[in-house]
A and B are shown apart, each in its own frame.
Chain A
Amino acid sequence: MKSASVVLSAPTGLHARPAGELVKLVKGFEGSVVKIGTSGRIVNAASMLLLLSLGIKSGTTLLVSVEGGDEQAVLDSVCAFIQAIKD
């Protein structure tokens, strides 16, 4: 398992549209289980409902972990995606 932390800078937090795009990205990595967590909870990032229920606000530090598949590559692209969310 590989993990890293990343900060969400989007001013309005992780709202429905970017969350949907993130879920779509995560679902594309077959054989990898991607989890995203805040200080309170860690959830499977392939579930839109669980991801939204984290209530991720702007400036939150997220812990991303990947198990299975090309762990480093998946980790890098998920972190890069989260960092690139700007709205």
Chain B
Amino acid sequence: MTISGPAAIWKRTSSGEPVRSFDDSFTAVHSRLESLSAQDAVFAAHLEILDDPMIKDAVAESVASGMDELAALRAARDGIVAMFGQVDDEYLRARADDVRDIFGQIEACMCGVAAGPVELPQGAVLVAEELFPSDVPGIDFSRIAGILCAKGSSTSHVCIMAHSKGVPIQVGADISGIKEGDIVSVDDPMVDGGRAVAAKVRAAGRKLYVNAGNLDDIRRGIEAGADGVGLFRTEFLFLERDSMPTREEQARQYKEALLACGGKVLTLRTMDAGGDKDLPYLSLPREDNPFLGLRGVRCSLARPDLLQQQLGAAVDAAREVRALCPQWFAACTPLRLMLPMVCTLEEIRAVKDALRELAADYEEILQVGIMIETPAAALDAAALATESAFFSIGSNDLTQYVMAADRGNHYVSHLYNPYSPAVRRAVELSVKAAHEAGIPVGICGEIASDPRATDYLLGLGLDSLSVSRL
């Protein structure tokens, strides 16, 4: 994908004169690498390189022969880099880069070099001659839209880190003539789909969530840097089995999910049965029009025993995790319970009543919010906001219900258009109501994962986008 933004140039400025001795600089770099090695094994390896007596010996030898320390350091660097031989070998070149980075850090310390962008506006493209592994901890990936480097390889540490954060990066770029603030673009075929959305959402300072259908999805999304899970479908627990999962069974799964989120938001959608998802053991009635029938929260309220089990499991999981990791709950609980197919205030209140019976203090351990996926919810969003901690727009069903068009029916599928003015109006009403009530509103339908729609959705004022995959 291609992304553009104002250039923020990564500069290395130096006094030109040595300001610290080799020994002091060595010690300073050593302790910096020690503290960094805890978070990234690459720096533990760099520490091993630094600890190789060859470096100190080579410098001492040159100093003894009359060189000044800086010249001795450079001579040692050139001698050791030469050991890595020909530069056309990708493997050896990468190892030589590691060595150069370490010598560069010592030299920077000796000369009082400061490295970094002068200014880093949100959404900027970081432009650098070369970024070494030791520069990476100083890069605020959440602020930048992309990175342009003149030198470096696609397997370098900065590329790996940028990709893991969903930030596009281009190495071997022509950066000559780029001035601070010029609009430049980054072309990175390795970043696409969810990651392209991620870059834009981050550049706008909004939240990026991921949708999950099981624990693996959660782990993958959180590892890829999501701010949380915007939609955790709990159907996987209910489908393809002969009986309802017990409260204990559900609680165990929700606890695992909360732990996998590591304190970030987990939006647990309550059972969304009905419609096209039939669960034989519920023996739901046969309906002529299941999409206008007992779906989502309607189904849960029709079967209070099932609702109680699921709510009880959520409460149990939250309590257990709070006992293990109270700091996650300190500011605000990370567990959000999301009700699907809500149309009326009474539905939300009924669920809250059931919760209150299970746990009088439920508000301390979970937030209750709703999906906006019916025209009723969008039209009456201002009222529903009074009983909701958050909104999440389910654009697939919202489009289908607003346009009264089944997307799978080819006679009317042309009407199924999430960009249509009526759907846009429904989203605008929901966003306005949420913001007037001071609650966040996100979107978790398919459109949220389409990079072409991201600017449009951010322009509508959505606080979070939940993508299907990061």
Contact = CB atoms under 8 A, between A and B. Distances in A.
Given A24-B48, A55-B91, A16 B84 contact: no
Contacts of B94: 15
Given A20-B48, A55-B89, A55-B91, A50 B54 contact: yes
For chain A, give the interface size range: 10 to 19
Contacts of B51: 48
Contacts, number: 63
A21 B41 CA distance: 9
A48 B98 CA distance: 11
Secondary structure at the B interface, as helix, strand, loop or mixed, is: helix
Given A49-B52, A49-B80, A50-B54, A55 B45 contact: no
B49 interface: yes
B44 interface: yes
Given A50-B83, A53-B84, 14 more contacts: A15-B91, A15-B95, A16-B42, A16-B49, A16-B98, A20-B46, A21-B44, A21-B45, A48-B48, A50-B52, A55-B89, A55-B91, A55-B92, A57-B91
Contacts of A20: 41, 44-49
A75 interface: no
B49 to A, nearest CB: 5
B132 to A, nearest CB: 13
Contact of B49 (A12, A13, A48, A57): A48
Given A49-B99, A53-B83, A17 B44 contact: yes
Contact of B41 (A17, A48, A57): A17
A19 B48 contact: yes
A43 to B, nearest CB: 10
Contacts of A13: 91
Nearest to A46: B52
Interface of B: 41-42, 44-49, 51-55, 80, 83-85, 89, 91-92, 94-95, 98-99, 155
A52 B84 contact: yes
A47 interface: yes
A31 B98 CA distance: 30
Contacts of A24: 48
Contacts of B84: 52-53, 55
Interface string A50-61: 101101010000
A47 B50 CA distance: 10
Given A47-B52, A47-B54, A53 B95 contact: yes
Interface string A1-37: 0000000000011011101110110000000000000
Contact of B83 (A16, A23, A49): A49
A87 to B, nearest CB: 11
17 contacts: A16-B46, A16-B49, A17-B41, A19-B45, A20-B45, A21-B44, A47-B52, A48-B48, A48-B51, A48-B52, A49-B83, A50-B54, A52-B95, A52-B98, A53-B83, A53-B85, A55-B84
